[in-house]
């Protein structure tokens, strides 16, 4: 008998696949391999065809829906449609963040009010907006995960505004876990080490952060999106049934230094 959970006929929503390098795509593939019924959401129409080609490689047939997380009505419609077409929601992987590139370098306090509001809206508030919209449709023992980064716990050069957004996200995880626990819903975060994705492209000193981790982290190597995804599977399945309000670091142990 396999020690891995079987997710056959269980509906999972994965939000934040930009391309094949996305952490959300690794999560989708892992859930698919465990037999889950998948719903994949994308930010705007122009991302649809790319996602369709990726989804064609999955074992199961996925439902693809547009969902811009800055739009409450869009979020409500998305979750109503998911329930109508795919039944109760067993889990959600929220893998979404955005900050104006200009605010991800140079001096932290140079950011504008508008840049701050946008980054916090998309990268932190959206988790609560999504959980709220899914509330009527959760299965009895549902689980939600989000992706965070060490720069929300301590200063990491250039992470700047995103550090504040991740601190808000990490705190939201705790408040949501406390509120939704009595309803049987768990809420956790995975703090991933640096992974070369579209978001990471062209920002800050990404290469030096990768090599610093490789030299100093307990495991002396970087992590893969697949390693993040297998921790995601643990948290999203019954294997993680006793865990909520937690941040699990999948970063080769770098955070202990
Ligand atoms: P990707 O660029 O692959 O994913 C980011 C996703 O955010 C994209 O799919 C993008 O959608 C989505 N997004 C942005 N704005 C919106 C919006 N308004 N509505 C809906 N979706 C939106 O990068 P990653 O996989 O690296 O990032 C996923 C998560 O992992 C983020 O929360 C990131 O902060 C976190 N993380 C990443 C690390 C890394 O080193 N890569 C390390 C630690 C955490 P679209 O392309 O459709 O616009
Ligand atoms: C310390 C670092 C490196 C410096 C900071 C990087 C922060 C990255 C996070 C945000 C989410 C990146 C971002 O918003 C980029 C956008 O301004 C421009 N890119 C886009 O618009 C692309 C096309 C779309 C797909 O991107 C998004 N997000 O929609 C942190 C790194 C070591 C680790 C890291 C990269 C963390 C993280 O949170 O992603």
Each residue of 138-147: pLDDT tens digit? 999 999 999 9
pLDDT tens, position by position, 20-54: 999 999 999 999 999 999 999 999 999 899 999 99
Backbone angle region of 100, left / alpha / beta, with phi > 0 → left and psi within -120 to 50 → alpha: beta
Q: How far apart are CA 184 and CA 139, in angstroms?
A: 8
Cα(61) to centroid of ligand 2, in Å? 30
Closest-CA residue to 68 (of 39, 86, 42, 46): 42
Q: How far is the CA of 227 from the centre of ligand 2 (A)?
A: 20
Residue range 11-249, CATH number: 3.40.50.720
Among protein residues, the one whose CA lies closest to atom 2 of ligand 2: 159
ipTM of the complex, rounded to two decimals: 0.99
How far apart CA 54 and CA 97 sit, in angstroms, is: 21
Instruction: Take atom 22 of ligand 2 and give the residue whose Cα is closest.
Output: 199
CA atoms within a 13 Å half-sphere pointing along the CA-CB vector of 222: 13
Ligand 1 site, residue 70, Cβ cutoff 6 A: yes
Domain residue ranges of the chain, discontinuous segments joined by +: 11-249
| Known catalytic residue at 159 | yes
**pLDDT above 90 (res 2):** no
Answer yes or no: 4 catalytic.
no
Distance between CA atoms of residues 6 and 35, nearest Å: 6
């Amino acid at each position: 008998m396999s020690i891995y959970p079987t997710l056959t006929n269980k509906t999972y929503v994965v939000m934040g696949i930009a391309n094949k390098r996305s952490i959300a795509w690794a999560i989708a593939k892992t859930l698919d391999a465990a037999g889950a019924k998948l719903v994949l959401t994308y930010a705007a129409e122009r991302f649809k065809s790319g996602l369709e080609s990726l989804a064609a490689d999955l074992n199961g047939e996925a439902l693809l829906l547009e969902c811009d997380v800055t739009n409450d009505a869009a979020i409500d419609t998305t979750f109503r449609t998911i329930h109508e077409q795919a039944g109760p929601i067993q889990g959600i992987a929220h893998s979404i963040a955005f900050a104006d590139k200009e605010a991800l370098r140079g001096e932290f306090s140079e950011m504008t009010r508008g840049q701050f509001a946008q980054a916090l809206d998309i990268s932190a508030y959206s988790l609560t907006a999504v959980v709220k919209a899914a509330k009527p449709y959760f299965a009895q023992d549902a689980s939600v995960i989000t992706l965070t980064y060490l720069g929300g716990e301590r200063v990491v050069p250039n992470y700047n505004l995103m550090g504040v957004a991740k601190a808000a996200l990490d705190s939201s995880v705790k408040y949501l876990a406390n509120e939704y626990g009595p309803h049987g819903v768990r809420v956790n975060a995975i703090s991933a080490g640096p992974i070369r994705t579209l978001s990471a492209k062209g920002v800050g000193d990404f290469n030096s952060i990768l090599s610093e981790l490789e030299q100093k982290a307990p495991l002396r190597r970087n992590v893969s999106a697949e390693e993040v995804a297998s921790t995601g599977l643990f948290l999203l399945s019954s294997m993680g049934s006793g865990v909520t309000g937690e941040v699990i670091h999948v970063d080769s142990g770098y955070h202990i230094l």
